[in-house]
Amino acid sequence: MIALEKRPQPSRLWTVLAPLVAVALTMMVGGAMFAALGSDPVEAIRTIFWDPLFNPQFSGYSRPQLLVKAGPLILIAIGLSLGFRAGIWNIGAEGQYIIGAICGAGAGLALYPSGSALVFPLMILAGGLGGWAWAMIPAFFKTRFGTNEILVSLMLVYVAEAILASVSSGLLRNPEGRGFPGSRNLAQWDAAANRELIAGTGLHWGVVAALVAVIFAYVLLTRHIHGYNIRLSGEAPRAARFSGVNPARVVVFCLGTAGALAGLAGLFEVAGPAGQISIDFNSGYGFTAIIVAFLGRLHPVGILLAGLLMALTYIGGELAQLMLGVPGASIQLFQGMLLFFLLGVDVFTNYRLRIGRREVA
Amino acid sequence: MDFGSINPVLLLASVMVSATPILLAAMGEMVVERSGVLNLGVEGMMITGAVVGFAVAVNSGSAWPGFLAAAAASALLSMTFGILTQVFLSNQVATGLGLTLAGLGLSSLIGKPYEGMKSPTLPKLDLGPLSDLPTVGRMLFSHDLMVYLSLLLVAAVWAMLKWTRAGLILRAAGENHDAAHALGYKVVRIRLAAIAFGGACAGLGGAYLSLVRVPQWTEGMTAGAGWIALAIVVFASWRPWRVLVGAYLFGGVTVLQLNLQAAGAKVPVALLSASPYLVTILVLVIISARGAHAAPGSLGRPFHASQ
């Protein structure tokens, strides 16, 4: 008889071990999936995980891309993790990302062709505020009416995509773009461009913001009363209410922070790697960040590492697509499997396997 | 602006076709949630059903094997969610999201060779004298079999939940899983069965999209229909007939905005294409503002029978 028995407190060993076991399992099952698709499994796994970093033929291009892809993921995931810890499920990060990008780019383009040093900071502010405002919609409905924030924030993603389509062909369309949809290229306009700080590393302002966010979240969660309240609201909601935590404030704070960070990520992306507001500049970072948040066990340092790992699977996936002809969608499946395995292995953190009958005391 | 180009009979007929996939998925999800499990993976299961149904229909030459295969495939996929949440006690929200992402990836992978193909579709029924009625006949009685099966499903689920012992046990597991366990009911098995049913229904809904409504396979073709189905379950207060109303309302708004766009309405296109989602948010807010939510008592809470 194999049964699960609740542990008196979460196992510290498994808190660290679970993601590692999950990654190992994903590599094995992922390898089997690649074998089923007709590629050599060992070569496929090596191409995804090892080559982008260490193979001299590719790493010159791939290593900088690691930070470029990881930056927005980490930034959004930090914001999401605060909410997830408190039981506030913000699934609409993609929408907040889009709206932040639109607001930031719009603010910048309104000042075109100024060369002032204030343009970029203004864009950052506008991007953060845009994302914050978009996240305030589910926050308002949740605190005022008790509406489920999962559904409202998710519906708003589709609304944001509709707004993006409208704005790229209308309001923000490049007047010198010969009728093609899409805004001016912000990465080519010096005052607004989000450039690399150290050439060849991919370390642009978005990555810097992500690192600052990691530190800020760590200090908030471990040293500040707000962080304590957030953790308490998630783990013991009734105790939180008895201790005087205002649940509405927690909701507004968590959703607002997540929205602002997602909006910032959108702005940094559109002023840097993506370059312009176009109908499809968003690459699903808002949803992948959810995986990153869970993979990092909702802990800032874990999220940093998980973000780098996910970025590696993105880049490795592109490389595998190029070199081995592996279909692009298999990487999305790979990432979904990673989340599944993590959630499955996570049971050992809180439960212990008991084999045989327990003796009657 | 040419309102004359919108034919009201065709409009109302297309509402039924547009609402059917969401109705199927929402009914399945309603049963799952009544058993106490929150399965956010409806989108992943729907799109898996769409691609599997399409592939099997193309390969076999007929639509019905496609529907069966879609239901089976989605039920199987939902079992991964079921095992993770019921046996491994994982967080239901996170696992559901993972199911959606995995389903989207899996469907893109499977569907690659089938893009651009045409599939066998379902014929429109001719119900004799009913179909020959002047306008009502076209609107209500000339659809394919799946539309009527979906309405039958609503009635069957309602009857099962309200009048059968099995329905009562299901509701018990959803309201208070500890009490149901104390009475001797196997909560995990009940929930696994409900999850499989929900998966099968979502698969049927997805297959209807790719085989009848569109009918083609494109990557990401469900476009949020699974999430709409989830929203409909909430604003129907977990009741079968209200799910029907919600699905038809959403189908109606979708069809109306498409027709308005085609007729060149003066409303901005972005507003029209976002209108189904905005209407969903509005109705969700109104429902939650009215107070008592009637959610099953144990919805979303993991069940662990401690010895």
A243-292 pLDDT, tens digit per residue, is 999 999 999 999 999 999 999 999 999 988 888 888 878 778 888 899 89
pLDDT of the residue at B128: 67
Residue A337 has pLDDT above 90, yes or no: no
Residues 32-51 in B contacting A (C-alpha not used; CB under 8 Å): 40
Amino acid found at A30: G
What is the distance of C-alpha B234 from the center of its chain?
A: 13
**Cβ pair B304:A4 closer than 8 A:** yes
Of B176, B196, B188, B91, residue with least CA distance to A3: B188
Give the three-state DSSP class for B54: helix
What pLDDT band is residue A48 in, cutting at 50, 70 and 90?
confident
Q: What is the mean pLDDT of chain A?
A: 88
pLDDT of the residue at A219: 96
Q: Are B274 and A162 in contact (CB under 8 A)?
A: yes
For A235-275, the DSSP string reads H-HHHHHHTT--HHHHHHHHHHHHHHHHHHHHHHHHHTTS-
The ipTM, to two decimals, is 0.86
Prediction pTM value: 0.89
Residues contacting residue A252 through CB under 8 Å, at least 6 positions apart: A136, A139, A143
Residue B104, both tokens: 């989207």
pLDDT of the residue at B307: 52
Q: Are A345 and A22 in contact (CB under 8 A)?
A: yes
Give the Cα separation of B37 and B305 in Å (integer): 16
In angstroms, the Cα distances linking A244 to A87, A222, A253, B20 are 17, 19, 16, 47
Task: Phi first, then psi: give them for residue A2, nearest 5 degrees.
Answer: -105, 125
pLDDT in tens, B99-148: 998 898 899 888 888 888 888 887 777 766 676 677 776 677 778 888 99
pLDDT of the residue at B292: 59
**Cβ pair B270:A287 closer than 8 A:** no
pLDDT of the residue at A179: 75
pLDDT of the residue at B2: 57
Which of A5, A313, A333 to probe the B interface (max B CBs under 10 A)?
A333
Give the Cα separation of A304 and A288 in Å (integer): 14
Write B255-264 long-range contacts (CB < 8 A, 24+): B255/B11, B255/B14, B255/B15, B255/B18, B256/B11, B259/B6, B259/B11, B260/B6, B262/B5, B263/B1, B263/B2, B263/B3, B263/B5, B263/B6, B264/B1, B264/B2
Instruction: For residue A176, give the H/E element and its range.
Output: none
Give the Cα separation of B16 and B138 in Å (integer): 11
Give the Cα separation of A340 and B97 in Å (integer): 10
Residues contacting residue A236 through CB under 8 Å, at least 6 positions apart: none
Q: Which residue has the higher pLDDT, B159 or A13?
A: B159
A168, closest residue in chain B (CA to CA): B270
Residue A100, both tokens: 């932040």
Of A255, A184, A91, residue with least CA distance to B38: A91
Nearest CB among B269, B274, B307 relative to A159 is that of B274
**Percentage of chain B lying above the pLDDT 90 cut:** 47
Nearest CB among A145, A151, A358 relative to B234 is that of A151
